[in-house]
Chains A and B, each alone.
Chain A
């Protein structure tokens, strides 16, 4: 084209150029058809689809598309994961029942199996503990448990353990990275990564050593490590290694029947994940159940001696029954002891006579006689015994005991003596002493013999209260005299009249109570004047008062008159105005009961 365009021919050039352009366009169009033809046709065909994607078509392609993409990588799963998680969360929130129903078929068997396994382990451990608890060996182990602070069941398990797989690791063979691990106790195992790495390092070091030293096949691998009572078993697959940490000595079947099938199954099931492995252990979570199948343990079987053996499981109900019997016997014996103590205690109580004791309808009962003054048996039970009152029945008949203390108590209850009276009892004779109102004395005389157990009553020892009152009244009287005379001082008339009245009453009451009364009139003087004169004056004063009383009709034979001069002054200072009180008489009244009647 360059050569043609270089020719400068202006007249024909426009036509030529027109022709050339057409030719050129045709060529370009042909070239375009050649190069883009099929694509254009396709694009034309696709155009309507691009404008509008039909859901029908999409639904046809979607399952295949998902499957293809999923086989290719994990991007689709990763993208869908948050959506599925959110959807599930919403579903649980809106209608938990539907979700529960959906997962029930999966959860229920799993829960059942977990419970069954737990129970099985519990019964196994119980069986072993029971079996060994009574033997000599058992005693030795019990001692060991005591010494080490472990539980007995733990010690039994330890000694009867044949083997137990404690950990199972799934390790990426080439990198030594841990893909998954499970442990018997369910622990997370913080150092599992390091353990897995070290296992790989040891395996490869051992491989190198065997190869360098003995020219072994470099692919031959270490299958077991033993350290004391601990062993690590390796089961190697093409890309993965299964390692079991075992306590005790496991049988070869563990490897052939469990480990080898497990690693084979994992290789089969996880082929894609293994091929894609980039250090992410998450996809291998699904291998857990394979690993758990290797968590085996076995204990020593009980040594069969051919003789009769009671199954430990049968022992449990027997032990329960025995325990119940022992408990029942203990409480029963304890109650019986308490009962007999109570009965003894009750019998010792005054006013109670037991006629019958025993047991009836599961209760203790006691029957007898009881003085109403005696202790209340129910209260005694509550206060002195640990026995429950609901377990005791009492039947009591009232009676009156002739014990002196009870007779006396009864007499006190019936006669109700005032505090000033003392009652005593001797051989059925009730004695009352002290002082009391005349009415009580006469009532007591009437009632005393009606008190059961009282055969006689002596009330002479009780003085009429009024007599004592009169005596005190008279002994307080101080009638005064004119200086140097035996004549009453002015204003003493009232005193004189009262004296006469009191003395009359006193003498009369004493007679009524068969009391001897003796009254002494004592004359006093002040200290002025000579003693002889005073003595005589005081004597005269006493005699004049006695004469006054005799003149009033009182019995002079029961009265004395004496003078003490100024020797017994009523007030020490004889100076006026107090000294006038010393010019007086005072009275002393003596009461004497009649002599007790003598037995002839």
Chain B
């Protein structure tokens, strides 16, 4: 079975680990654990009748002291840029990470995931911002690792983009 490597990249505490947990194990933990280095998991997904083994690298989030290590990106077939819809600044971080990925690995398939959609009261990102990103050709998916909304779709979309590339 063909294996494909994807990375989850983005600012700290946007919910990268929770997205993987929801996608792979189908559960959600309220407690926050910061990821040190990288955590790896896998799941078999089906793209147009073809099964592929998705090897998911959950890379530690970026903050002002530590940038995402591009060395983990090595050989990635695609990546999910994860941002927190309740913290508008994390989209900026995602954008910066995206730029660095292009420098390091060239243009490879990616999807922007705006997480924490369940926190409607605290939502900061307006539709105009999202529309702007879509205009640039970005694929944007709103998700919630807590409710599971959009999670399958995000992973399915990136898988499809990788296969169709």
Q: Which residues of A contact B (CB under 8 A)?
A: 172, 174-178, 193-194, 197-198, 200-202, 204-205, 207-208, 278-282
Q: Once the chains bind, are B2 and A278 in contact (CB under 8 Å)? A: yes
In the assembled complex, 15 residue pairs joining A and B whose CB atoms fall closer than 8 Å, in A order, are: A175-B74, A193-B42, A193-B53, A193-B55, A194-B41, A200-B74, A201-B72, A207-B71, A208-B69, A208-B71, A278-B2, A279-B5, A280-B1, A280-B2, A280-B3
Given contacts A198-B40, A201-B38, A201-B57, contact A279 B74 (CB under 8 A): no
Q: Once the chains bind, are B40 and A204 in contact (CB under 8 Å)? A: no
Q: Once the chains bind, are B53 and A175 in contact (CB under 8 Å)? A: no
Q: Which residue of B lies closest to A197 (CB)?
A: B40
Chain A residues near B52: list those with CB within 8 A.
279
Task: Determine the interface band of chain B, counting residues with CB < 8 A from chain A.
Answer: 20 to 34
Q: Which residues of B contact A (CB under 8 A)?
A: 1-5, 37-38, 40-42, 52-53, 55, 57, 69, 71-72, 74-77
Given contacts A193-B55, A194-B42, A197-B55, contact A177 B3 (CB under 8 A): yes
Q: Once the chains bind, are B37 and A201 in contact (CB under 8 Å)? A: yes
Chain A residues near B75: list those with CB within 8 A.
172, 174-177
Looking at the assembled complex, report how far the CB atom of A560 sits from the nearest CB atom of chain B, in whole angstroms. 123
Give the interface SS of chain A, mostly helix, strand, loop or mixed: helix
Looking at the assembled complex, report how far the CB atom of A542 sits from the nearest CB atom of chain B, in whole angstroms. 124
Besides A178-B3, A279-B3, 10 new A-B residue pairs in contact (Cβ under 8 A), listed by A number: A175-B55, A176-B74, A177-B5, A197-B40, A205-B38, A205-B71, A207-B71, A279-B52, A279-B77, A280-B2
Q: Which residue of A lies closest to B77 (CB)?
A: A279
Looking at the assembled complex, report how far the CB atom of B24 sits from the nearest CB atom of chain A, in whole angstroms. 11
Bound Cα distance A4, B165 (Å): 56
Chain B residues near A208: list those with CB within 8 A.
69, 71
Q: Once the chains bind, are B5 and A176 in contact (CB under 8 Å)? A: yes
Chain A residues near B1: list those with CB within 8 A.
280-282
**9 closest residue pairs by CB, A with B:** A175-B75, A174-B75, A197-B40, A204-B71, A279-B2, A280-B2, A201-B38, A279-B3, A177-B3
Bound Cα distance A194, B71 (Å): 17
Chain B residues near A172: list those with CB within 8 A.
75
Looking at the assembled complex, report how far the CB atom of B119 sits from the nearest CB atom of chain A, in whole angstroms. 31
Chain B residues near A278: list those with CB within 8 A.
2
Given contacts A194-B41, A278-B2, A280-B3, contact A174 B74 (CB under 8 A): yes
Bound Cα distance A200, B69 (Å): 13
Bound Cα distance A254, B94 (Å): 45
Contact of B4 among A174, A197, A202, A279 (CB under 8 A): A279
Q: Once the chains bind, are B55 and A205 in contact (CB under 8 Å)? A: no
Bound Cα distance A205, B42 (Å): 20
Chain A residues near B4: list those with CB within 8 A.
279
Bound Cα distance A74, B76 (Å): 23
Q: Once the chains bind, are B71 and A197 in contact (CB under 8 Å)? A: no
Given contacts A175-B5, A177-B5, A280-B3, contact A204 B42 (CB under 8 A): no
Q: Once the chains bind, are B71 and A176 in contact (CB under 8 Å)? A: no
Bound Cα distance A17, B76 (Å): 70
Looking at the assembled complex, report how far the CB atom of A73 sits from the nearest CB atom of chain B, in whole angstroms. 15
Q: Once the chains bind, are A193 and B3 in contact (CB under 8 Å)? A: yes
Bound Cα distance A414, B156 (Å): 111
